[in-house]
Structure 1
Amino acid sequence: MNKLKLGYAPTRRFVFSAEDAFKYKVLIREKIESIGLDIDIVDLEGLNSEGLLYDDHINADEIIERFRQERVDAVFFPHCNFGTEDTVARVGKALGKPVLLWGPRDEAPLEDGMRLRDTQCGLFATGKVLRRFNVPFTYVTNSRVNDPVFERGFTNFIAAANVVRQFRSLRILQIGPRPSSFWTMMCNEGELLEQFGIEIHPITLVDIQRASQQIEKGNGSELAEAVDYIKAKLDYSEVTEGDVKRIAALKVAMRRYAQQTGSSAIAIQCWSSLQDAMGIMPCLANAILTDEQIPVTCETDIHGAVTSVMVQAATMNQAPTFFADLTVRHPDNPNGELLFHCGNFPLSLSVEEKPKLRKHFLFDDHSPGTHEGEIRGGDMTLARFDGDHGEYQLFLGRARGIQGPYTRGSYVWVEVNDWPLWEEKLVKGPYVHHSVGIHANAIPALYEACQYIPGLKPDPVDPTEQQIQAWLRGASM
């Protein structure tokens, strides 16, 4: 994944201090670079002598052309004084990318009563004009350059923009149809394309079987690397060397198909035809690929794959997701719940030094390929993109790991603020029993991203929408 590109378009208005605006252009640039985000910044240098957006000296068309040529993913319009609201709005409208509006807090008037910037006043003006142009935008509270609320808001905006850019270019590799008995996994492929531009690239289980067999017979370096990785990371004493090789070959085949088709995620029919054809479960292959930032969802869960890409993008792809069933309530904790799947959670999350590679414990054939064990707890985000009847929502909630009984498969017990409320919301829909977790607070970025995705409504259960908004203004959460 290429770095996110941010268009940096600092703006001023001619009636206020040009010198002070230039000073703040430099200070703000230095601040956002110091945050340490892995992004590329495209500025206005060379378009005029100041590198600032202001009327009569640089027009919207020149800025739009530069940002389009550079393929920016989002635009930041820091108001270094009052700013030029009409040009800001024209650029924002033409680009159609996420827009960040903010300006540094004004100092006290000078001794003679003159004011150098009137930045806050200009923010009011630009906000109104952006609305006139139907440009959605993110706003960070008028604050000083080094105030924590600015860094928080800027960082969250970049993460939200990363969600939007990956969502807008999303293609999912679908390996096989959904299991016939899983009506919950129905999705409307045409609707996903029409409403969101999400593409599905379907292949059959025969395709992946043939590709895996060719890789297994070929004994190439990629296969050898995957075999060595499995043997180094897992206790595989319960399965055969042949099983390890077939699982590794499947992992390599899935990755190649994803790369060849330009797919960001995979949804696979993990049972039961695959076991009949290949004699293995894909769970461990799913786990390894998810650790490699190609999330794989079970039971051909297309909406789950969409969720996975969004959630990992909200952390700037710095943490792996895990794909889980919401399974049973904790035997003692009324707000506790088991997050589980047969054996697909990323190895990097395991609490054991060498988790077990085992045979499946439920199905009659007991095929090998499940990666079992508990994963670490801590604070997590749980999310689910889902919809029906043409309406889509993004469920958002926070959880933390707790102690609970041993169970088979990949699992972690979690506690939430009010499980009966969660349960009611999930049952009444449009959700299902699948969720995506990540060990990070991805909720504010996902919430903010929704305003740039027409047709997707955020549905936070904890924190509430009001708490998220207050946090973005600087409150604790």
Structure 2
Amino acid sequence: MINTPDIKIGIVGVSRDCFPRELTQRRMKQVVEECRRLKLPIEPCSVVIETEKDSMAAAKEMVKKGVDAVAVYLGNFGPEGPLTIFAEKLGKPFMLCAAAEESKDTLVEGRGDAYCGMLNASLNCGLRNLRPYIPAVPVGSPSQVAHMILGFLSIARVVVGIKNLKAFTFGPRPQDFYACNAPIKPLYNLGIEVMENSELDMLMLFKSVAGRTKEIKAIAKDMAAELGAGNKYPAKLVELAQFELALMTFFENNLGSRQFGVFANKCWPAFEQGFGFVPCYVNSRLTGRGIPVACEVDIYGAVSEYMCQLASVSPVTLLDINNTVPADLPIDDLCGVERRDLFMGFHCGNTPSCCLCEGCGMKYQLIMHRLMESGKKPNITCGTLEGTLRPGPTTIFRLQGTADCRLCSYVAEGAIMDADPASFGGIGIFGIKEMARFYRHIMLEKQFPHHSAVAFEHVGRILFDATRLLGVEDVSTPRTRGNLYPGENPFGV
């Protein structure tokens, strides 16, 4: 996908001077061989870190090799000071991992004590205010360590993407839509740059590309091919294509100091009167290519979408946690959840076509049509992409800046049901175990807004670890029955 970092991982072996350096060298060579069997883009460092001087040399080599993240490998006990000096100097995401002992026959001359060394390495990271990624079981065989590094690759992709991200906004938010407020300080704390623009800027941008008719026609042709039989309003394609060209031109010209970008754009109510359409279909196309576009100027929604994209390396969407599922709506397979834990995720029409079932199409926004064109044929409210969400595994995720400028987050895994939601928009039925309690004691209790980013696979592990690695301490997940949330009434369960 475009707008997504390709991650190159370095690996640096460390050795304490009272242990044989050769032990780390031999063990790291085996790890590198296992990484290459997994086709990991691994760059071994020729320097084994024993001293502070080695730390500087290793950092210099890793920078020269262009690594984006690094695995610090304790082949034996390891030198806690030099290894953290290296991590501090390098300034990139890093993980700590270590070698397990190989055999009862090597526990005298060949024992490495890396299990012990990990404790001191972790402690020294704290002394230097460094935050390493430490796997759930960080000490293992060469094959096990290689799989740890494989897992770290996805986590590093999220972190690197976020720290090189720019959020473009065209606002302000719709009236009485405080839910999409976006304190900027927490975004800066994450390393995200923000470029705020007005809806008038967007209109001027749209008009500025009107003369590029050849490009507009090519985009409109591509839209028609994508929609196929779902092209219900073909007369709208030229305007929508012009809008897509405007957004892409702005994106390419304004990344500035950053490599990646997302949009959080206003889409109602004045937009329709000014532009003559709704932007949902264009939003879906950009998101499908790798540039998430959040509705209603929801900056944290756009960032959340991007994190889901980085975790899954696949198109994602942003949906309202929208409505309950009527008891008489038939669902053949509840995927192991109770009906009380079902809900519908909905939005007007911003979900990429590849994330919808066959038969999706471009339609009009029903709610806006009632308000803006009541009794008339749809015109300015045309431009949604509507259909049923693709059934299968899913992850919902939200990163949010609170009113007092703290960062908090939630992540939950579940399934999108293979069932007809019998409604309009881009919509699907979600089932997440213990969602009813999670909704009450996390989403409501912690005052999360109504938008949630949605990935179309299970990426909870990656998002949880990446969010923590970014420094977010408050990451909520669903709790099993009997495991009460703070403040949950034990007499009311």
- CA deviations over 1:314-357 (Å, ceiling 9, x no partner): 23xx21111101111111321111011011101111211x5211
Q: Which amino acid in 2 is paired with 1:159?
A: S
CA distance in 1, matches of 2:187, 2:251: 19
Give the counterpart of 2:160 among 165, 175, 179. 165
Query: What 5-or-longer segments of structure 1 have no aligned partner?
Result: 46-50, 467-477
The yes-or-no answer on 1:370 pairing with 2:384 is yes
Matching residue of 1:450 = 467
CA distance in 2, matches of 1:217, 1:443: 45
Map residues 77-226 of structure 1 onto 2, 5 A cutoff.
77-110=72-105, 113-140=108-135, 141=137, 142-147=139-144, 150-189=145-184, 191-221=185-215, 223-226=216-219
SS at structure 1 position matched to 2:469: coil
CA distance in 2, matches of 1:12, 1:417: 46
Give the counterpart of 2:451 among 428, 434, 443. 434
The yes-or-no answer on 1:321 pairing with 2:321 is no
CA distance in 1, matches of 2:387, 2:104: 63
The yes-or-no answer on 1:252 pairing with 2:245 is yes
Matching residue of 1:52 = 48
More deviation, 14-23/280-289: 14-23
Matching residue of 1:379 = 393
- CA deviations over 1:225-284 (Å, ceiling 9, x no partner): 32122111213553133x111111111211221222115110111112111011111000
More deviation, 112-121/124-133: 112-121
The yes-or-no answer on 1:414 pairing with 2:417 is no
Distance 1:342 1:311, change over 3 A: same
The yes-or-no answer on 1:359 pairing with 2:394 is no
CA distance in 1, matches of 2:416, 2:24: 48
Matching residue of 2:309 = 312
SS at structure 2 position matched to 1:246: helix
Query: Does structure 1 conserve the Cα–Cα contact (< 8 Å) formed by 2:345 and 2:427?
Result: yes
- CA deviations over 1:351-375 (Å, ceiling 9, x no partner): 11x5211122111234210111012
Give the counterpart of 1:23 among 18, 26, 34. 26
Q: Which amino acid in 2 is paired with 1:370?
A: T
Give the counterpart of 2:266 among 257, 265, 269. 269
Distance 1:156 1:388, change over 3 A: farther
SS at structure 2 position matched to 1:206: helix
Map residues 263-302 of structure 1 onto 2, 5 A cutoff.
264-302=261-299
Query: Does structure 1 conserve the Cα–Cα contact (< 8 Å) formed by 2:71 and 2:149?
Result: no
SS at structure 1 position matched to 2:300: helix
SS at structure 2 position matched to 1:76: strand
CA distance in 2, matches of 1:240, 1:321: 26
Distance 1:21 1:274, change over 3 A: same
Query: Does structure 1 conserve the Cα–Cα contact (< 8 Å) formed by 2:224 and 2:231?
Result: no
Query: Does structure 1 conserve the Cα–Cα contact (< 8 Å) formed by 2:305 and 2:316?
Result: yes
More deviation, 381-390/132-141: 132-141
Query: Does structure 2 conserve the Cα–Cα contact (< 8 Å) formed by 1:398 and 1:463?
Result: no
CA distance in 2, matches of 1:413, 1:193: 32
Query: Does structure 1 conserve the Cα–Cα contact (< 8 Å) formed by 2:388 and 2:420?
Result: no
CA distance in 2, matches of 1:418, 1:109: 46
State the shift of 1:208 in Å: 2.5
Distance 1:295 1:237, change over 3 A: closer
State the shift of 1:61 in Å: 1.9
Query: Does structure 2 conserve the Cα–Cα contact (< 8 Å) formed by 1:295 and 1:305?
Result: yes
Query: Does structure 2 conserve the Cα–Cα contact (< 8 Å) formed by 1:382 and 1:396?
Result: yes
CA distance in 1, matches of 2:146, 2:67: 21
Query: Does structure 2 conserve the Cα–Cα contact (< 8 Å) formed by 1:85 and 1:129?
Result: yes
Q: Which amino acid in 1 is paired with 2:222?
A: Y
Matching residue of 1:470 = none
More deviation, 165-174/268-277: 165-174
Q: TM-score, normalised by structure 1?
A: 0.87
Q: Which amino acid in 1 is paired with 2:411?
A: L
CA distance in 2, matches of 1:220, 1:21: 60
The yes-or-no answer on 1:397 pairing with 2:412 is yes
More deviation, 368-377/66-75: 66-75
Matching residue of 1:228 = 221
Matching residue of 2:333 = none
SS at structure 2 position matched to 1:114: coil
CA distance in 2, matches of 1:253, 1:34: 44
Matching residue of 1:471 = none
CA distance in 1, matches of 2:385, 2:292: 16
Matching residue of 1:469 = none
State the shift of 1:297 in Å: 0.5
CA distance in 1, matches of 2:80, 2:385: 56
Give the counterpart of 1:342 among 342, 345, 348. 348
State the shift of 1:168 in Å: 1.9
CA distance in 2, matches of 1:451, 1:112: 36
Query: Does structure 2 conserve the Cα–Cα contact (< 8 Å) formed by 1:291 and 1:348?
Result: yes
The yes-or-no answer on 1:5 pairing with 2:8 is yes
Q: Which amino acid in 1 is paired with 2:360?
A: P
Runs of 4+ in 1 over 4 A off after TM superposition: 68-71
Query: What 5-or-longer segments of structure 2 have no aligned partner?
Result: 328-338, 484-493
Distance 1:112 1:94, change over 3 A: closer
Give the counterpart of 1:240 among 224, 234, 238. 234
Query: Does structure 1 conserve the Cα–Cα contact (< 8 Å) formed by 2:94 and 2:133?
Result: yes
State the shift of 1:93 in Å: 2.5
Query: Does structure 2 conserve the Cα–Cα contact (< 8 Å) formed by 1:74 and 1:161?
Result: yes
CA distance in 1, matches of 2:175, 2:324: 27
Distance 1:382 1:9, change over 3 A: same
CA distance in 1, matches of 2:386, 2:29: 52
CA distance in 2, matches of 1:111, 1:21: 14
Q: Which amino acid in 1 is paired with 2:201?
A: D
Residue-pair matches, total: 449
Query: Does structure 2 conserve the Cα–Cα contact (< 8 Å) formed by 1:93 and 1:134?
Result: no
Q: Which amino acid in 2 is paired with 1:204?
A: S
Map residues 453-464 of structure 1 onto 2, 5 A cutoff.
453-454=470-471, 457-461=474-478
CA distance in 2, matches of 1:88, 1:112: 25
